[in-house]
Structure 1
Amino acid sequence: MDEPRADADPDSPEGRGGAAAVMPAAPPGSGRAALDRRRIIGAAVEFIDAQGLAALTMRRLGAHLGVEAMALYRYVPSRENLLDGVVEAVIDELYGDPDVHLEPGHGWQDYLQRLAHGVRRIALAHPEVFPLVATRPPAAPWVRPPLRSLRWVESFLVALIDSGFNQEAAVSAYRAYSSFLLGHLLLEVSQKGVAVNAEDQPEGVEEAQEAADLSQYPTVVRLESLLSLDESAAEFEEALENLLERLEVVLREGRAPRRGDHRD
């Protein structure tokens, strides 16, 4: 791992000294003998990181691995199954992150702080993969907000209930926390050029910017230098601290926060 850059966002791969490891992929062109589910999923993560989610097909992944697409189906029976594996592969990085605690041994706020930054590190290391995390899990499409890793949902709810949240409060906390976290991070990766809707990949962005008439927006033009600053890290920290203060109300009152609870 490289030395972290002092001026880099602390959650970024540069700020961490390199991206977290994913499952090892079989070397391109290595052929059928090297295949297993772990290597295929590792190759899929690598492929999406490099080329984007919309480009991923079983045929292209097979070509990347030097085999026919049909050879993959022995290990991943469908594209949806492959995508489930990809999500779990990147979520696994949470379990290998020394700064993420899997249980709230130092309190639920510390647990959620660490989890949020761990998920943000995944988003910054795998921005093209991350929108998959916020898709509906095929096994439980009724989860709201959607989070494809049911293992994460389960561990989150258990951790909060073990910390004193009743069931209603734990679910309410999950909704508030995941809505904030996924909403913020999807916006953050989209600002890096990632299409949050994988089937709606942006094209011709630079040409559109060159052709845009900004004369109707003089204030935007005047404040371009400020509007173009990347304050993502500071905004993330401030929003997270505000959220945890709101969840203190949820824990204390054992119910979902209501509109009238807000105090200026």
Structure 2
Amino acid sequence: MSRGLNRTRILEAATDYIDAHGPESLTMRRLGSHLGVEAMALYRHMEGKDRLLGDVVDGLVDDLLDDPRITSGADTWQEYLRSVGTAMRDLEADHPRAFPLVATRPPEAPWLRPPLRSIRWVEHFLSALVAHGFSHHRAVRTYKAFTSFLVGHLLLEASSRGEQVSPISAGTAAAGNEGPGATEDPADHPTVMELQHLLSADHSDREFDEGLDALIERIRLPGG
């Protein structure tokens, strides 16, 4: 039944569906079936799939502004950046199939950068740094460097879990069975063979923390 159907309920259901099946599987018909309504009932609240995906992304990102780690404030700018970074990483861990949308969908304005891609987030981020003594120039440079770090690291983590991090095209080879390097023998690459145990080891927690600390230290230095 469409009774009680509204944007909030639709967005929650769409997020759940993406978490379970991935964004490439989402259609208005399937979402309607998931909600127990006809697809046409969704169009009374949503313009279509593209707008729906955009609203899912906006909801996930803006909901982080209510995270206690963000709302509790920070005594230092280093603590603030760590809080934002770890909260965003938890978002990727909680919604690994939706996070590539957060990182790759074009933002509404060209000066917004994923994953802190909303005007609310830019305002919060820049004003927090300015309150900690950053000049406007340094705050903006930090926003750009920080978001580049987050997108790069978290997309790599999502990809390592097998999540789709780029749009699926009709010509994509099936499930990694074909394509460049698919038939290469690792034995032909002695260095890779020698270091395979190191390459395959999962140190993502340590690497994230070290990368975040290195970025913070770079920002700390004059001219950073």
**TM-score, reference length from structure 1:** 0.75
Unaligned ranges ≥5, structure 1: 1-30, 258-264
The answer on whether the counterparts of 2:113 and 2:144 sit within 8 Å (CA) in structure 1 is: yes
- State the Cα deviation string for residues 132-184 of structure 1 (Å, max 9, x = none): 2123222x134356754332222111211222212211110000000001110
Counterpart CA distance in 2 for 1:111 and 1:103 is 10
The answer on whether the counterparts of 2:62 and 2:120 sit within 8 Å (CA) in structure 1 is: no
Match of 2:107 among 126, 137, 143: 137
Match of 1:204 among 175, 181, 185: 175
The answer on whether the counterparts of 1:132 and 1:148 sit within 8 Å (CA) in structure 2 is: no
**Aligned ranges for residues 77-116 of structure 1 at < 5 Å?**
77-98=47-68, 100-102=69-71, 104-116=73-85
The answer on whether the counterparts of 2:29 and 2:39 sit within 8 Å (CA) in structure 1 is: yes
**Aligned ranges for residues 250-261 of structure 1 at < 5 Å?**
253=223, 257=224
Residue matched to 2:210: 238
**Aligned ranges for residues 118-133 of structure 1 at < 5 Å?**
118-133=87-102
Match of 2:40 among 50, 55, 70: 70
Gap change, CA 1:153 and 1:240, over 3 Å in 2: same
Counterpart CA distance in 1 for 2:72 and 2:129 is 9
CA RMSD in angstroms, aligned pairs only: 2.4
The answer on whether the counterparts of 2:65 and 2:121 sit within 8 Å (CA) in structure 1 is: no
Residue matched to 2:6: 36
Residue matched to 1:9: none
Unaligned ranges ≥5, structure 2: none
The answer on whether the counterparts of 1:95 and 1:102 sit within 8 Å (CA) in structure 2 is: yes
The answer on whether the counterparts of 1:137 and 1:146 sit within 8 Å (CA) in structure 2 is: no
Gap change, CA 1:183 and 1:198, over 3 Å in 2: same
Check if 1:59 corresponds to 2:37: no
**Aligned ranges for residues 144-155 of structure 1 at < 5 Å?**
144=113, 147-155=116-124
Identify the range of structure 1 (218-227 vs 121-130) with the bigger mean alpha-carbon deviation.
218-227
**TM-score, reference length from structure 2:** 0.87
- State the Cα deviation string for residues 12-43 of structure 1 (Å, max 9, x = none): xxxxxxxxxxxxxxxxxxx2113111110011
Number of matched pairs: 220
Match of 1:182 among 126, 130, 151: 151
The answer on whether the counterparts of 2:70 and 2:83 sit within 8 Å (CA) in structure 1 is: yes
**Percentage identity across aligned positions?**
46
Residue matched to 2:125: 156
More helix by share: 2
Counterpart CA distance in 2 for 1:151 and 1:83 is 19
Counterpart CA distance in 2 for 1:182 and 1:97 is 20
